[in-house]
Amino acid sequence: MDQLIQKLKEAEVGTVKINEPLSQHTTWKIGGPADVLIEPKNLEGLKEAMSIIKEEGVPWRAIGRGSNLLVSDEGIEGVVLKLGRGMDHLEVEEEEIRVGGGYPLIKLVTVISRQGLSGLEFAGGIPGSVGGAVFMNAGAHGADVSQILKKAHILYPDGRLEWIDGSEMEFAYRTSRLQREEGICVEAIFQLKKGEKEEIVAHMQKNKDYRRETQPWSHPTCGSVFRNPLPNHAGQLIEEAGLKGYQIGGAQISELHANFIVNIDQAKASDVLNLIEHAKYKIKQAKGIEMETEVEMIGRKLKTP
């Protein structure tokens, strides 16, 4: 690992941190240390970092703003690549936008709506980055990323950079091909439509206000924990099981929205996992429905229920 760190620093790929607590990089404020955390200064820095990681044979994974992510209390072995500053460019040309994978989604929705471009209003209030939104096919209010993504620029571990058409991203409910193959979305091109700025901004703001009123963002949380087992809704099933407010350790099923688990008192990943397991058991017992998590679980000794 020492040789890897030395090479990364000599190559000036960006910021390199050792034993960095991932609780500082996730919206749940949960997670042990990454052996190495890199914030690439730009795409070239990311490519160079990836080349060194491959050369040294070290495991890696990429994150954005750390939403929809549960990191083990034991941390993550190897390298965590965090796409943020330096990977957050934005270019607007007519009805197309080209945006870096590290661009914050909430900020993007606000900026683009104020320019009178429609198509991203559904994402008003969704935390996370553009790269994460493509990875998860983020969505709300009956719309999602698959409906507006024209192309995704993907960096593969062997250094290849490829533009993948939206039609080839294998999008489904909260999934994409990136969940089945190793690749990082470093840029996205979204196809939007011009419209009345006041109407677009009002629609976007309505969605943001709805999330603020119905979801518990006053405490650290990751977003929705379970996928909706359609036609049922996860939050309703959990509420009907009488689990609103149920607490294990420092983690609690939100009293505002039952598909959210909030960190109310220095919760550990193990607290969250035990809550997830308990909710799955209760709903299976009561309804015969197998609940699946939407949140991604990573790290040492992290056992998915």
Catalytic residues: 174, 224, 294
d(CA 184, CA 178): 8
Q: Residues 76, 35: contact at Cβ < 8 Å? A: yes
Q: What is the DSSP string of 121-153?
A: GGGTT--SBHHHHHHHT-EETTEEGGGTEEEEE
Cis peptide before 231 (omega within 30 of 0): yes
Instruction: Please give the radius of gyration of the chain, using alpha carbons only, rounded to the nearest integer.
Output: 19
Helix (H, G, I), strand (E, B) or coil at 86: coil
Residue 26 identity (one-letter amino acid): T
Burial class for 99, CB neighbours closer than 10 Å (0-12, 13-18, 19+)? buried
Strands (E), 23-95: 33-40, 60-63, 69-71, 76-82, 90-93
d(CA 252, CA 267): 9
Structure-token pair, residue 232: 């049922």
- The Cβ-side half-sphere exposure at 19, using a 13 Å CA radius, reads 1
d(CA 109, CA 122): 9
Structure-token pair, residue 128: 């996370």
Instruction: Tell me which residue of 185, 209, 253, 208 sits closest to 43, measured CA to CA.
Output: 185
